[in-house]
A and B are shown apart, each in its own frame.
Chain A
Amino acid sequence: MSRIPDAFGNGKAFIAFITCGDPDLETTGAVVRAAVENGADLIELGIPFSDPTAEGPVIQGANLRALRSGITTDRIFDFVRKLREDIAVPMVFMTYANVVFSYGAERFLSLCRDVGIDGLILPDLPFEEKDEFLPICRSCGVNLISLIAPTSENRIAMIAREAEGFLYLVSSLGVTGTRTEITTDLGAMVRLVRENTEIPCAIGFGISAPEQAKKMAELSDGAIVGSAIIKLLEKYGRDAPPYVGEYVKAMKDAMR
């Protein structure tokens, strides 16, 4: 049974993205704990990919640092299994289709179920290709998360109707990364989503400041933050956990 509804059960959700193994798994574990202790409602764990085509420079850097440290999908599964011993919030994987395909989708998803992963986000798997993994996700009780972009327009209803877990609203054109301004008419997108599904929707891409998080929380059910957290890891490395904790607290407080 997916834990994802828990994330949206107590006010607006703050979703933190962290690349596994950047710079090592010990730090990732400490960062996850710091984020959860300070109010993160859902943890998005990135499995690094050599060529992350949906990422901006900051998360690309995290992927490279993690791969250079020798991280593998197997080691990440072991890590999550341990993490689950004391982390109760929902956790989802964010990676690229080839990481799942190459590992063997059935093997990958049954391990997700076994170690306590609740969902899977694949930015290079649009609605048209979701059958690649959806039947296996369902049989393993892992939610395959759908994304909606500012260019989705006529596709929003179709995607929302079949969405599971939560909907990931991409705030802006382009790749991941912090932005000073988000110009998309997110209110209109959210309205269209609400007309077509009961599941919560959270906004990601470009969110870094508490005021932005507050605004996104007013518009939707939560905010997803990646690059701003990764920047702290880039800056402080193994010393990053307390800084991430402090940052998550400020963001979550702004959303209350």
Chain B
Amino acid sequence: MSSSDAQAFARAAASIAWNRREFIRSSVGLSSTAAMLGFAPLRAAAFSAKQKVVVVTFGGGARDEETFAPDGQENIPNLLQTLLPQSTFYAQVVNRGILGHYVATASLATGVYETFDNFAVVPPHDPTIFEYYRKELHRPATDAWVVAPSNGFNRIGESDHRSYGEGLGAGVILPKHLLQAAMPTSSGMNLAHLLRDNYEDPYYTPALAGNEVQLRQLDEILKLSVTDFTRHALTLSSPDELSVYVVRQLMRQLAPSLLWVTLHDMDIAHSGAYSLYVEGIRRSDRLCAELWSSIQADPEYSGRTTMFILPDFGRDSDSDSGGNGFQHHRTGDALSRTTWMMVLGPGVRQGAMIDKPVDSLDLVPTLGSLLRFSTPLAQGKRLEEVL
């Protein structure tokens, strides 16, 4: 990007953030960065030796038009009215990497813009937050987990970096794959539609071996019988609901300190059906609030858990002729790259809004500082406002 292009992008990103801030301020009235600067961080006083972190990413992103803008606020009542007032809100989080969900989520988890093929089932090349965490703090494998929507995310738990990698990463649970393993093949159910891997290439699902591994995860980790799991799945309306169910089960059984879940229902936007995209946003909004309630209700988590909520990136704007509005994230325009992040938990200033631009890569060093381990190969900067 040339210097003039970079300046134009920065102006566009700042404008998006400004609008987002104004939308929110008009609806819930948060304090600004300026109000925050005079305060000392509260983290030192609040830090608990048993600090836990839950990261929720939206794979697909939701635009301001459907969320924080006046017409979109009806879709996110929980984020706006319940979670936002308790959080520090970053209004301008810029993703400068590849806008594909697996590679972008991997970049969020490594703190480095990964450049592998988004649709290849490969591990990240740089160490993940889970490897830094486990290696430096000598944490067991049961203490870091990823719950992800699709087979393509199978390798996100640990990198192929030679100084980290095998045996140091997070456990990965793919709830839909779990469901496939649990459902009897003789049931006559056509799972192909449900099990499709992603909405960007809806006809492609990488094959994963090892249903027996999945069933062992059910039994040994989640402490669920196949019957109970399938019975519960039959009460849920979407894969994201299944993911949150698995997260809660993990919290109950293992209480991991580092837990990462990606929600993908809203990415059905790629099908071009606007109503289904909005439905996905509303569901994610509800699930975030339910997850926060679960955290507050669980003695292992209550009072010691910081939750980060962020889309991996945005979606194309209506005004870019290279795209088709909400449907995709292919233009690389400012709206598709500029998103937001909500941080809430003990010691995090409530109702504060950060206007300055931050980078998607800043998540990893921030998590490292919060849980007190180093992230030497990550490229972002610590977000001091929530430390």
Tell me, yes or no, whether A binds B: no
